[in-house]
Amino acid sequence: MRHNMDTMSKEHDRKLHIRTWGCQMNVYDSARMADVLCRHGYSLTDNPAEADLVILNTCNIREKASEKVFSELGRLRRHKIERTKAGLKQIIAVAGCVAQAEGGELLRRMPFVDLVLGTQTYHRLPEMIAEVEAHARPVVSTDFPVEDKFDALPEENRAAGPSAFLAIQEGCNNFCTYCVVPYTRGAEYARPALQVLKEAKRLVASGTRELTLLGQNVNAWRAEGTDGAEWPFSRLLSALAEIPELERIRYMTSHPTSLTDDLIEIHAHEPKLMPFLHLPAQSGSDTILAAMNRGYARTQYMEAILRLREKNPDMALSSDFIVGFPGETDADFEQTMALVRDIGYAQAYSFKFSPRPGTPAALMEGQLPENIKDERLQALQELITSHQAAFNAPFAGRIIPVLLDGHGNQPGQLHGRSPWMQAVHVEAPDSLFGNIVNVLVARAGRNSLTGTFVKG
């Protein structure tokens, strides 16, 4: 995250440290919180000990993620004590989904925390900080405010780099029985097309070549278009593709029930739309899908993917899976394994079911012991890894376009992504950073490709 301080009003020179857990939406939110605060005199630091303000942007989709937040808070407490001894102040803020879910309870458990702010309130950070400072008492702001967070946020000044995130949708109405998002992020909200296009053009003008549109249920985006009519998601993708210097468009995370025919169609003919789709199946068993309240059966998921592959045989697919959901039998799990074999994913993420407080699945009968979840997770991950290796192997010897968006450890080494989302390590001069270049793939590993820049 880089911020153009010249254009921001500097009231004081204060240091801000942000630590982010969880999904890309949280990464995006952290960047926007930094945008808000840099206008109020803050600059970013990697060192929490020297920060006047520390924000932990949290995730509680899994138990481990929220526990990590609490152990980080323990470490921060020690920094705060040291700073207080040295006569320096430090404000500790907890943002994101743990903050939204725990609210004031978090202050009871961690009384040295000064600010608890929910997922929809970070545009109000400066006023909340002023309140903490003025009254020397903690502030909790986890209500979903009526005003639109996106409207209230300042225009970004960040140069986000060659590949950037852009949140177009937030919240979810699906209420999958294991998920906290509908409670922590609220009901679905889609940003109007004009707002999205303006932000996209700003990012592209600052050097971005690839945009990943973000939303908890991104392909359910439906909002006012630039012509005043209601646009479906595919129409927004077409409008973004018209931005000349924007070369690649991706989106995540999609819900299978919103993979409509018009969206499938645009994957067939829009070259800027990358041939990669993350479409979480979660399970291959109809019984478990129903218990999860996913809203589709295995056949519907398979049919949607068949239609997509018919239109664009080059599509690479990715998914999320949860193993050990309450009541999952060996036969249910075998259905998941069969689905993975049938689809042949290019990559996939798999997790053990972890009950989240306040969700229906946490109270369901048939909770499974950890050893069964562990065994199933291991079997599934081995299968996914073998598919990933099989997907990557034929790339050896091919020349593919790679967007170089990261630096390696040594000069002359850059990192990037293929159109199919593979990580690619490239021998190329640093001057090519930020460009899409041709790369001759020398080695195709399980997790990444390695190659050399070739001209032409």
Report the residue number, 106 or 176, with the smaller CB distance to ligand SF4.
Answer: 176
Q: What are phi and psi of 435, to 5 degrees?
A: -105, 160
Q: Which stretch binds ligand SF4 (CB under 6 A): 29-37, 64-72, 177-185, 356-364?
A: 177-185
Q: Which stretch binds ligand SF4 (CB under 6 A): 18-26, 175-183, 374-382, 388-396?
A: 175-183
Q: Taking CB under 6 A as the criterion, which residues in 144-173 touch ligand SF4?
A: 172
The reply to whether 174 sits near ligand SF4 by the rule CB under 6 A is yes
Mapping DSSP to helix (H, G, I), strand (E, B) and coil, where does residue 351 land? strand
Q: How far is the CB of 255 from ligand SF4 (least distance, A)?
A: 5
Mapping DSSP to helix (H, G, I), strand (E, B) and coil, where does residue 109 land? helix
Report the residue number, 209 or 356, with the smaller CB distance to ligand SF4.
Answer: 356
DSSP letters for 245-296 = T--EEEEE---GGG--HHHHHHHHH-TTB-SEEE---B-S-HHHHHHHT-S-
Which of 110, 181, 223, 264 contacts ligand SF4 by CB under 6 A? Answer: 181
The reply to whether 213 sits near ligand SF4 by the rule CB under 6 A is no
Task: Please enumerate in sequence order all residues whose Cβ is within 8 A of that of 242, keeping only pairs 6 or more positions apart, or say none.
Answer: none
Which of 53, 179, 277, 444 contacts ligand SF4 by CB under 6 A? Answer: 179
* Beta strands at 210-214 and 248-252: parallel, antiparallel or unpaired: parallel
Q: Taking CB under 6 A as the criterion, which residues in 240-299 touch ligand SF4?
A: 255
Report the residue number, 216 or 350, with the smaller CB distance to ligand SF4.
Answer: 216
Q: What is the CB neighbour count within 10 angstroms for residue 246?
A: 18
Q: How far is the CB of 414 from ligand SF4 (least distance, A)?
A: 34
The reply to whether 218 sits near ligand SF4 by the rule CB under 6 A is no
Which of 138, 161, 182, 186 contacts ligand SF4 by CB under 6 A? Answer: 182
- Contact by Cβ (8 Å): 426, 402: yes
- Rounded-to-integer distance, Cα 317 and Cα 334, Å: 20
The reply to whether 376 sits near ligand SF4 by the rule CB under 6 A is no
Amino acid at 224: E
DSSP state of 56: E
Lookup: tokens for 454: 């070739």
The reply to whether 399 sits near ligand SF4 by the rule CB under 6 A is no
User: What sign results for the dihedral spanned by CA atoms 7, 13, 17, 18?
Assistant: negative
DSSP letters for 131-170 = HHHHHTS-EEE-S--SS-HHHHSPPP-----SEEEEE-EE
- Contact by Cβ (8 Å): 270, 229: no
Q: How far is the CB of 216 from ligand SF4 (least distance, A)?
A: 4
Q: How far is the CB of 209 from ligand SF4 (least distance, A)?
A: 28
Q: How far is the CB of 413 from ligand SF4 (least distance, A)?
A: 36
Q: How far is the CB of 375 from ligand SF4 (least distance, A)?
A: 24
Report the residue number, 182 or 416, with the smaller CB distance to ligand SF4.
Answer: 182
The reply to whether 319 sits near ligand SF4 by the rule CB under 6 A is no
Report the residue number, 194 or 364, with the smaller CB distance to ligand SF4.
Answer: 364
Q: How far is the CB of 257 from ligand SF4 (least distance, A)?
A: 9
Q: Which stretch binds ligand SF4 (CB under 6 A): 12-20, 24-32, 101-109, 176-184?
A: 176-184
Q: How distant is the alpha carbon of residue 340 from its chain centre?
A: 23
Could you tell me if residue 43 is left (phi over 0), alpha (psi between -120 and 50 degrees) or otherwise beta? beta
Q: How far is the CB of 177 from ligand SF4 (least distance, A)?
A: 9
The reply to whether 176 sits near ligand SF4 by the rule CB under 6 A is yes
Task: Please enumerate in sequence order all residues whose Cβ is within 8 A of that of 85, keeping only pairs 6 or more positions apart, or say none.
Answer: none
Per-residue x/- mask for ligand SF4, residues 414 to 433, rule CB under 6 A?
Answer: --------------------
Q: Write out the residues near ligand SF4 by the rule CB under 6 A.
A: 172, 174-176, 179, 181-182, 216-217, 255
